[in-house]
């Protein structure tokens, strides 16, 4: 009896495992999350390089200012790097805006569905009232 029970439990596990394989591999969500973390890490790595470069430019400017060589301070590279940083930040903003837009569209769809259901129930109620006469 115990062997039969154990066999049933083991076979049930295999059945559920097969069901998951039909939808994809069990670790697919983990792989997807890992790819997202890699993308974030790359972005933050680029940001750290740009930020360190900005600090380096500011230190050079401080040294030149201390020496009274204000005319030798160049800001071209500084502004280019700031533009790159702004581009990285705006790419995050675009994703946020797209997400808000999708959320708003889904909200409008839900409200339309709710309105249709409400109208259907009102019509049903009116038909019932007419039949009651």
Residue written as token pair 């129930």 = 121
8 Å CB contact between 65 and 73: yes
125 vs 5: which has the higher pLDDT: 125
pLDDT in tens, 49-107: 999 999 999 999 999 999 999 889 989 999 999 998 888 888 765 565 666 777 778 77
**Which secondary structure element, helix H or strand E, spans residue 107, and what is its range?**
helix 76-132
Average pLDDT score over the chain: 79
Residue 111 has pLDDT above 90, yes or no: no
The pairs formed by 123-131 with CB atoms below 8 angstroms and a separation of 24 or more are none
Tell me if the pTM is above 0.75: no
């Amino acid at each position: 009896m115990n062997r039969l029970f154990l066999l049933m439990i083991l076979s049930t596990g295999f059945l559920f495992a097969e069901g998951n394989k039909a939808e994809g591999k069990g670790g697919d969500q983990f792989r997807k999350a890992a790819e997202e973390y890699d993308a974030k890490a790359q972005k933050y790595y680029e940001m750290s390089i740009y930020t360190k470069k900005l600090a380096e430019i500011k230190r050079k400017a401080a040294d030149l200012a201390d020496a009274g060589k204000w005319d030798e301070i160049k800001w071209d590279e500084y502004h280019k790097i700031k533009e790159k940083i702004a581009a990285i930040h705006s790419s995050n903003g675009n994703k946020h805006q797209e997400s808000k837009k999708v959320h708003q569209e889904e909200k409008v769809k839900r409200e339309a569905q709710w309105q249709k259901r409400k109208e259907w129930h009102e019509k049903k109620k009116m038909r019932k009232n007419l039949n009651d006469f």
